[in-house]
Every structure is written in C-alpha cells, then in structure tokens.
Chain A
Amino acid sequence: MTAPRPAADIARDVRSGSRRAVDVVDGYLAAIADREAEVHAFNLVLAEGARERADDIDRRVAAGEDPGALAGVPVAVKDNLCTRGVPTTCSSRILEGWCPPYDATVVERLAAAGAVVVGKTNMDEFAMGSSTETSATGPTRNPWDLDRVPGGSSGGSAAAVAAGFAPLALGSDTGGSIRQPAALCGVVGLKPTYGTVSRYGLVAFASSLDQVGPFATTVADAAVLFDVIGGHDPADSTSLHRPTPRVTSVLDQGIDGMTVGVVREFLDGADADVSARIAAAAQALAAAGARVEEISVPSMRLALSAYYLIAPAEASSNLARYDGVRYGLRVDAPDTVAMNTATRSAGFGAEVKRRIMLGTYALSAGYFDAYYGQALRVRTRILEGFAEAYRRCDVLLGPTTPTTAFRLGAKVDDPLAMYLSDVCTIPTNLAGHPAVSVPFGTGDDGLPVGAQLLGPALEEGTLLRAAAVLEAAAPDDGRAPVPAARVGSGAGGAR
C-alpha cells in the first residue's frame, strides 16, 4: 500500500501541468475565507502574494521549467520565521509591524522548491505557551472543537493544516511546540534533530532547543517538507555538516525486526483513554514485525524542571534586544532606561515577562550554579538516560500529550498546569533528538490522540518508517483535515 501524500500529489500534478498552481491556491484560499474567522489560525493571510506566486509557477511550468518538489503547494508559515518585507510579529505587540529585510533559510528553501507561502500563522507569544492563548492577536481555536485550544506554541500552523487551510505548515519546536499542537489537532508534526534544519531567520526563543519542523496531514508529506527544508546552512553555526536529508525514500521500508520501547514515565501522568490508544499503537507496531517492550527512563521525570530553567535563561538573553532602540514598538520616555522599561512593559505579555524574570534569576550571580548550572547537569543526565534506552531500542513510543485538547481558558491562569502539558515532549528537546507525533485515533471525547515516536539523533528516517506504520494502522476518526460537518458549529460538535 502506498502512503497517502496529498501535498506531494499537488506538486506532482502542478509539475506535470495537469493542475494549475493558481487553482490549487484558490481552493485553499477559499477554505481560509470560509472558516478563518472562527479558527484564527493566521496573523496574516497573503492571498494576493500567494496568487502571484502561483501564477509565476504556472508560467514556469508552461515554459518547460521544473519549479521543484513542492511546486504550487500552499504552505502556512509560523509567524516567528522571517519573511522578507512581510510582517513577522511572533504574535507579540513588541514586534508589531516589523518587516524583516531578509528571508529565513527555510523560507528561501520553500521558495526554491516552488512552494507558495499562504500566510503567517498565529502562535503563543515568542513561542512561549502550549495553547496559543498567549498570542497578542488572540487565541487560535481547535478546528475539531472551537471551544478547545489547538495546543501551542505552533497552534496556528497545526490548526491551519487541520482545518484544510494549507496541506503543509512550518512550525518551531522548543519544548514540544510542533508535536503537542499536532497531537491536539490530529495532524503529523516532526521535530527534527537539532542542527538538521537551519535556525537562520527563526526568531530565537531558546537557541539551544529551538528547531524548525514540518506539519502535514500525512507522514509522507511531512517527509517531503523535511527533505526540502533540511541540510547544512553556513549561516547557522549549529547547523550540522550533513547533506539534505532524504527520508522520503525510506518510508515504505517497514519496521520488521525493529525494537520499540514503550516509555513508562510518559504513560504515568496520561489520561486512561490516551494510554489505551498508545497501547493500541504499540500493538500495531508489534503486528508489523517490531519487538515491543516496556522501558523505564527515570531521568525523564527531571526534564520539565531543567527545561524551565534552561529555556527561560536563554530567552531572557534572546529577548533583551527588544528594547525600543532599533525596531518594533517604542514607548517614549524621558531617558533611555525609562524608554527601555516602558517599551518592554507595554510590548511583552505576562507569560513572556514571567519567563524573562525566571531566566534572569536563574543566571544571576549567586544563583547561577544552583539553578542554571544544575539544569545543565540534569540535561546531561537526560542524554545519558536516552543513550541507555537506545542501546536496547531503536525507537521509543509514548503519548505526545497526557490529555486531548483542553478547553480555552482552562489552564491559562495556572502556568504549572500549562507547563505539564509538555511533559512528554520536553526531554527530546533537551537531548537534541528527533521525535514525531502521529494521529492515532481519538480519546473518549472524540478529540484526536497523538502517538509520539522518539529516536536517537539523525534517525528521522527510522522514526518516519515507524510513523508510517502507525498511520496505516490508525483508526480513521482522529485524522485531519477535520470533516466539514465537525467544524463551524461554534460549539464544538465533537463532544
């Protein structure tokens, strides 16, 4: 059986001339016009620019050129990726109206592959959040149930793909910001190995953890997008010296003989219906020829605490530059320091301020070793824990999130509860490893459950092979795009 790949099919048809890119783009723009008002997946829809671009691609096809692997494929881009001349706000007031004079490397690579950027997607402010509710432009709603959050921070990208606004999207994942919303929206989300996708032009949250990655409705499409955006970039010093990945070609190799470890610590805090789905996913992998065993990786329990020191510490430094001097918001005041303070007070939201303060404190003289230093030592322990697990297993399995999508407002005033929704995704970022979330049915509430597969560094191919097996075995009820009947009710038809 060949895996479904709607985005790749569009590219194939556009390249062969059997479909016009303009028609493809118009179709998606119509879907956006239809439902964007209630979903709010985008900070900015680039309807005109997308049509012009599609037109250009059609002309090139007509002239006998090949626009590339994503010819005419609409892609939604998270609003923390720089787009030349197009506002890039990170859903923050402090960057309101700022237009970067350059494209992020991944945006350049999209263009070089013939993709069409249809808009900049909503997100938690500066990617800090797990529900897209910290956005200065208002929350994105989950297309499955408009009273529920789409997850975050790349909630706009996940919702855009889930709602059928674009077949592909780019997000960024610092502690789960691709995988968690992918799980809650019933789409595929891949967090690649740190260093395989360039961070140049990704507005930094926590530089040692941030990684750009794809959203798609299917594993095969996610693989195509990963192949397009990955590979060495001399503009990013942490980019690995490695050629463009080629995971697309290995997807159908199966998992016969692979060892899969089901991580006990990830199941501990999960809801029973979510755990049941993961057990079913494990059975599906076993049925496809994998050896499945339960495994304990105790250091995973330490990850959340370490993350909430390391990420805010880096963020407190990365976000210092928003001082009102050079770009973005400026609130005038009698002197420079007062202007800095007034600008940052008005420009940043509560969650961003909370993390800047946490991080500043963690790095302060006298506290550095007890907090930041200790967190770095824990990070090493987590790497060691994974290394030991991967001596026995090829991939690890668990839920992406402990619960299905929660209600808007449910956790927004309780930061700790919000932070806990990333408990299964954070360890991967601390290790720099890849992980993917694949839809695997629904919970008791009828909302999607994501199965998370984790692998050692640079094993995206292995991960996606296993993901393809899960995708083929998954029940149909948790898959996006969301059937039209389930959206637009405004009251969440899926309950």
Chain B
Amino acid sequence: MSTDWDVIIGLEVHCELKTATKLFCGCRNAFGDEPNTNVCPVCAGLPGSLPVLNRRAVELAMAIGTALHCDIRPSTFHRKNYFYPDQPKDYQISQYDEPLNADGWLELPDGTRVGIERAHMEEDTGKTTHAGTSGRIHGADYSLVDYNRAGVPLVEIVSRPDMRSAAQARAYAAELRAVLVATGASDGKMEEGSMRVDANVSVRRTADDPLGTRCEIKNLNSLRSLVRAVEYEVERQIALIEAGGTVDQQTRHWDEGTGRTETLRSKEEANDYRYFLEPDLVPLVPDPEWIAAVAETLGPLPAERRSRLAGVLSEGGDGPTEAQLDQILTVVDLGLDQLVVEAAAAGVGAPLALARTANQAATDPEAARRLDPESYVALLALEQDGSLTATQVKEVLAELLAAGGGDPAAIARAKGYEALSEDSLADTVAGVVADHAAEWERYRGGEDKLAQFFIGQVMKATRGQANGKAVVAELQRLRG
C-alpha cells in the first residue's frame, strides 16, 4: 500500500440483537429455521398490522450504548421508504435523526480511540435468494424470499472516520465484536450475518488536505474480507487520482472471488428514502433508572478483562510476552478468560493456563464457554504436577468439552494414563537406568544430551505416556 497517502476509514456495523423475539412482534428470532416459519401478520407487513416495540431489544441496544460510552437519549423511529421484495412493508422502521445512543467511543487494544457517532435501532429485512446463474436480482430465473429475518432487531453502530489503515479497521471490528459478545447483546457471528460490516473509505495526499470523496463498500463477510477490500479500495482510489481522475461517490460491492470492489450504484442512483416519523410508534424515552439498571447488568468489558489477565500474568515475574499478549487477545475475544483467571487462582501457573486456553480450549470456544471451570482447573493441575503430559491433557480436554465437564483424573485412568503417578515414573526411570549402566555413567559424567536417550527409553517403556520434563527431573534427582 502506498504509505504516503492519508487513508480515512469509517465503519458501519449492523449487529443482530440476541433477543428471544423480533423487534416489533412475538415471532421467534432464530437463525437457520425452515424458511417462513417465524412469521406473523406484523412481520409479514399484512394490512392492518401494527408494530409494538420489544422492551428487551431496547435494553440490549442500551447495553451496547453503555459499553460504547454513548449518551443514551430520548429517541424516535422513522420510516425509510424503498421498494424491495424482502421488505414486507416496503419501508424499514429505523431510528433516524434521534438515535437512542450517540457520541461514544471505543478504545482499541493499541490504545487508539475510535469515535462512535451513533448506535441506533432498526429492523432487519427478509432474505432473498435469486435462482439463476448471476445470483443477483438482475437476470435471476426466479427469486425466493424468506421472511424469518424480517423484523429481527438490529443495532447499527456508525463510527467516526477515525481509522487510518486496513489493520486498524480490522482491530476496530474485532474489538467491537468482542464488546458486543461481552454485553450479551449479540453473538457477533459474521459468517451467519449477525454482524455485518460496511466500510467507508477515502484517501487524500496529506492529512492537511480536505477529506476525499468516499466510497462505501458492502458485502464484507469476514475480518479478512474487510482487510482485503479496504486495501484494494485504497489502491484503486490512489491509482485513480494519480492517473488524473477523480473518485465518484459510490456504493461498491466486494467480490471475494476476484478480490475487487465493483460499482453497485452511484450517488445519482441512490434512493430518496423519504424519511418521516413512524406514526405507528411513540417516542422511546428511557428513564434514568432504566438506563442505570441496564448498565448494572454489564459485566467487565474486553479491555478491562485483558488488563486483568495481563495482571495475572505479571504476578511473580515480568509482564506478558508478545506471544502471551496475542494469547490474551484470543482468550478474551472468545470469552474464555474466566477459565484462565480461575485456574491461576487455584494455583495453576498463569502462563500454562493461558497457553492451554488459547491453544486448546479455543479450538471449540462454544463448548469451552459451557465447560465446568472446576473440571478444567483440575485438568490443568494434573499437567502442572506432572501427572499428565501435554498430549494427554489435549485428549482428556476433548472429552471434557464434549461432556461439558467431568472428573479429569477418572478420564485419564480410563484412558490408561494412571500409571504415570510420580512413584511409578520413578520406578520406571530406575529400571531404565539399571538396564543401561554404561549410558548412565556417561550421563552422570556430565553428558547432558543423553537425557534424550533416557527419555526415549522411558517413553518406550510407558508407551509414550511419560512426561518428558518429569523424566528429566527424576534423572537429575538420581544424578544428585
């Protein structure tokens, strides 16, 4: 990327709220059900039906606003009018000039603060599938609409144009996702569309120039797409300007296959949404007690949880290494940090607990979040005291995750790992030493590399179940 240009990025993130029911009716809010099974007169937009605001959705939206340090304000709903088959009423109910949450910020792990302009509530549309070669509405043989998603509650979080690189945009999206998950407001799954990111990108030669014309990029289905699309778009705009052209304000579509953005519509083709106050709803004016009650339900947010883990790592030594900082990011991002905290509190070494959580528990984060922490701590303790090897821990953990918990010692015994108590290891090592007297003499004489030989022999005798470090420790003890 040309580094001498000033890149300006702002993100608009839509997240689906994890409510039991939709925003304006009692239909189930669920992903992946049979098409058109969670539909009623209200979310199908039948004549005569009226919306009634979901109280829980407002609470989750306020939780997001609180976590993003927004002002939570009296707000209203508008109608955004445009024709589209997946929109049952041919208008979307959305907050417009009076959003529930405004003027906040989000701090990235590197300390950058990104401004939040607003985080407003709106309803989702249905989902259209276009049958035919193009996969788009133009040229489709026919189209199918699933209204299960119509009326699902969304919060749209609009950042200020405070990001200066694709990497920073990625960090913002990742941090925002962690915050959404931490508040319990959303599951933040980009692949299921419960978190959708649009990027506004512009460039200018220097930071002193006025802002350039921006393009909005849609269809970013992963953090990786976000980075690739922004990098592509920055290059495209710079090349355009350097060739003497100008950037037109456009909405562009990211094509994951070709790795390019393409024109979706120009500014002239943009809809006139004819916003006006939704007459079927009354203003939403949350009282201070309600706002405070929602704030009280919020647990610690990712930034706070990361610094808490860093603190745990720092006890009894230096601060976390670069690798450990990455592990902390992963563990907090996946909501597994409590496992590390509890293990460390129970006496398991924090580095071990962090490494196992980031590398192994993280392979199935959903199961890990459901895992009984006591059994997890007990398992790590078995590794810590040398009863189980790293390989064995991995095997036992897989069973714990599958069952949601259990007795790790019992699972280890059932797998035949029980022979590895300290006593039996000592017996095995003593036997191996007796059988290889010549090598033992050389090892005693200071030939440390022979430790590998003895480990190999012990492994052979235990069919690979011994802990290498424990073998070395026993050898050193015998050597005196």
Contact = CB atoms under 8 A, between A and B. Distances in A.
A and B from one assembly?
yes
B280 interface: yes
A202 interface: yes
A342 B90 CA distance: 16
A95 interface: yes
Interface string B27-57: 0000000000000010011111111110000
B79 interface: yes
B46 A238 contact: no
Contact of B83 (A95, A314, A320, A327): A320
A317 B143 contact: no
B50 A199 contact: yes
B281 A237 contact: yes
Contact of A238 (B45, B137, B272, B280): B280
Nearest to B86: A325
Given A326-B44, A364-B272, A317 B50 contact: no
Interface residues on B, range: 20 to 34
Q: Interface on chain B toward A: helix, strand, loop, or mixed SS?
A: loop
A237 B53 contact: yes
B48 A202 contact: yes
A42 interface: no
A345 B51 CA distance: 28
B85 A336 contact: yes
A313 to B, nearest CB: 6
B91 interface: yes
B83 A337 contact: yes
B45 A321 contact: yes
A323 B83 contact: yes
B89 interface: yes
A317 B48 contact: no
A123 B90 CA distance: 25
A244 interface: no
Interface in A308-350: 313-314, 316-317, 320-321, 323, 325-327, 335-337, 340
Interface string B43-85: 0111111111100000000000000000000000001010101
Contacts of A316: 81, 274
Contacts of B53: 237
Contact of A237 (B51, B79, B81, B276): B51
A100 interface: yes
A238 B83 CA distance: 26
A207 B49 CA distance: 11
Contacts of A437: none
Given A207-B279, A238-B280, A340 B48 contact: no
Interface string B125-139: 000000000000110
Given A317-B81, A320-B83, A320-B90, A82 B274 contact: no
A200 B50 contact: yes
A203 B45 CA distance: 11
Given A101-B41, A237-B52, A317 B47 contact: no
Contacts of B48: 80-82, 88, 100, 102, 104, 200-204
Contacts of A325: 85, 145
A317 B45 contact: no
B88 interface: yes
Given A207-B279, A207-B280, A314-B279, A326 B47 contact: no
A313 B279 CA distance: 11
A82 B44 CA distance: 15
Interface in A399-440: none
B419 interface: no
Given A340-B83, A360-B274, A237 B280 contact: yes
A459 B472 CA distance: 93
A299 interface: no
A326 B276 contact: no
Nearest to B273: A365
Contacts of B46: 100-102, 327
A27 interface: no
Contacts of B138: 335
Given A101-B46, A208-B279, A237-B280, A317 B91 contact: yes
Interface in A170-219: 199-204, 206-208
B89 A234 contact: no
Interface string A72-97: 00000000111000001010000100
Contact of A95 (B47, B51, B81): B47
B282 interface: yes
A365 B272 contact: yes
Contact of B274 (A104, A206, A238, A364): A364
A438 B54 CA distance: 42
Interface string A90-117: 1000010010111010000000000000
Contacts of B50: 199-200, 235-237
Contacts of A168: none
Contacts of B274: 316-317, 360, 363-365, 368
A320 B279 contact: no
Contacts of B44: 326
Interface of B: 41, 44-53, 79, 81, 83, 85, 88-91, 137-138, 143, 145, 272, 274-276, 279-282
24 contacts: A98-B47, A200-B48, A200-B49, A201-B48, A203-B48, A204-B47, A204-B280, A235-B52, A237-B50, A237-B52, A237-B280, A238-B282, A313-B276, A314-B279, A316-B81, A317-B81, A325-B85, A326-B44, A336-B143, A363-B81, A363-B275, A363-B276, A365-B272, A372-B276
